[in-house]
Structure 1
């Protein structure tokens, strides 16, 4: 940024980072205190359903208080640039700490586990679900963890997103039930807590890396790789990452278990051999989870193979070409018939509209938003071509163009 920018009562000093929902700035409030200001991305700000839900959730989110959370201090969701203001924590994201310094061990891991569990207990006590707990949403400052962005992903998972059948979140930290399309509750946060602590203790993502669908498949059908996690913590993480959400402890219970384990087994934890939750025949390459942003993706099922993905891309390409090409041809034919055969002109447009409407219906049934969008563009495009050509060219010129198009089509059929 250049000169400090003013956003309502706040001065934006510099950019701190960018996430799936907005740009985060370091700012100053009217009293001169440093704050973190998340300005929502334009595509998020344009979703009225998401903003309405976020506005309802903000009042609940502002009740969250605790030494390990970055509390929401202010919010403005009605202007051209909606934003949230939170307490500023000067530190590094946990994902960056692990990438630069390696796994956290010893007393540092104890402080991290205790602080994250306490933060989650504070969030849940206020009736809030974080929905996107992951290493990138944990700030480490002087060895103490602070949870940021709680409740935002949950609030912004609007009806328009939910209706599309997509999941908002980060693969590897989403609970199995969320991947299967169920609503995210506090149990899903406990699962994410377990995955985050497993990553912090080992430097590896507990379900490996790869395409989102492949990671999601492992989350649903395999146990996490907890090799290298200290035994005192591994016993807790096994329960936190249970496939059945009802079998997971609450955040408050995790806090109590961590305290008990630390008090009773600190000495044994230093000498006990590493525990491997599930034997592995190979180790997947490590990857910084900061490279895995919060995203929308389709849950369930097995991960598609490369050949299946190639076939899907080819079908989408053919579909786009067919819709665009047919829109141009129908628009041309309808404009040529407009003067002498207006009924035929209207019939062509109506029939084409019904065809693309039926195709869009299939796209909605299959939850293929790109297909629905292409059909909408094709339908409006045919009408636009019809209106434009009718106003610019004479009937004779349009008939000559129709003849040329027919000749080309007949030639292509004959050549095939």
Structure 2
């Protein structure tokens, strides 16, 4: 029996599913507009808006794809078309803002693309983060993209990439110019070579905790600390925290997004509907260190319910001694009992098992 009819049937079913998803997106867009403003166009009062947001959360959660809930908010907009083919939107030698010449695309995510560019006059290479064409008309994502640049420009730490500028391309897309990082993500390193040695995990912990301390001291929450968002630039000693796309001010939840980040790194309080503060970043750090030590990703959840079930038994890092106790402390269910980023640095700095090079630094 030929397999062609089966393939055609699957294609028809897939197209029907995509059309239904688009119809849901349009309805959700109308819902979002109704939450923000009343029929007369005036903004709703905060208590009324919160009640409507709570009522809409269940519907938004059901649209999850197992990854970022920010993508759910994106798909709630009528202009967010299905994913475009994996082709670079900027070709080599494209000139951005009459200053930067595109050399090559070096990364692509669900929302943005990363390019290596060269300054025409200074002859220096940088990285440019620009929204994908199929995401640029989404007002929520466009706002978060600009907010990411503002956040990064207010931060100064060796483990945080420095933003140089926020400019606009001729097609209207804003792009962030930042330092070019050379290395690989922690996720790729684990997948390729397995877990890190305990000394390397300690160095990684101190480096990322330092970045989080700077983020929190500036009044922000990163909100998406994961192995994909840590670059190893010359190993753990050069670990750099990247992707501040969903970073926000501490204590200022976004009324347009119920949850932003990945369910797999969400803290228990976030799974219960709370916005999550600095302690949520520290919980994610504990998960990150456990993954780095194990060399694998334990089941951490792909949606709210599976993530909540996974939190009943935090992953075992396999680490002994002070470092193991520190990771377990970071993974406590009660956010008030987790150490802060500064406390993590204090514990690590006092440990005699840290590598000699780190003690010298």
TM above 0.5, one fold? yes
Q: For the aligned residues, what is the CA RMSD?
A: 2.8
Q: Which has the higher contact order (CA 8 A, sep 6+)?
A: 2
Q: Secondary structure at the match of 2:219?
A: coil
1:61-105 CA distance string (max 9 Å, x none): 312111111122211369621221221110010001111111000
The two structures have a TM-score, normalised by structure 2, of: 0.65
Does the CA-based 8 Å contact 1:60-1:126 persist in structure 2?
no
**CA positional deviation for 1:199:** 0.3
- Find out whether 1:45 has 2:136 as its counterpart: yes
Equivalent position to 2:289, from 197, 205, 208: 197
The structure that has the greater radius of gyration is 1
1:35 aligns with 2:126: yes
> Is the CA contact (8 Å cut-off) linking 2:267 and 2:283 kept in structure 1?
yes
The answer to whether structure 1 residue 154 and structure 2 residue 247 are counterparts is yes
Query: Equivalent residue for 1:17?
Result: 107
Instruction: Tell me the alpha carbon deviations over residues 172-216 of structure 1, each in whole angstroms, 9 at most, x when there is no partner.
Output: 21111222221132111111111111100112334x156434541
Q: Which residue number corresponds to residue 66 of structure 2?
A: none
Q: Does 1:256 align with 2:346?
A: yes
| 2:65 corresponding residue in structure 1 | none
- Could you list the per-position Cα deviations for residues 16-59 of structure 1 after superposition, in whole angstroms to 9, with x for gaps in the alignment? 11123211111123422221111112354213244345535633
**Larger fraction in helix:** 1
1:225 — aligned with what? Answer: 315
Compared with structure 1, are the counterparts of its residues 132 and 209 closer, same or farther at alpha carbon in structure 2 (3 Å cutoff)?
closer
Contact 1:4 1:13 in 2 (8 A): yes
Equivalence for 2:335: 245
> Cα–Cα, structure 1 residues 171 and 92, in superposed 2: closer, same or farther, change >3 Å?
same
Match of 2:25?
none
In the TM superposition, structure 1's runs of 4+ consecutive aligned residues that sit over 6 Å from their partners are none
- Residue matched to 2:230: 138
1:216 aligns with 2:307: yes
Q: Which stretches in structure 1 are left out of the alignment for 5+ residues? A: 268-416
Q: Which runs of 5+ in 2 are unaligned?
A: 1-87, 356-361
Sort the Cα spacing of 1:37 and 1:57 in 2 relative to 1 into closer, same or farther, 3 A. closer
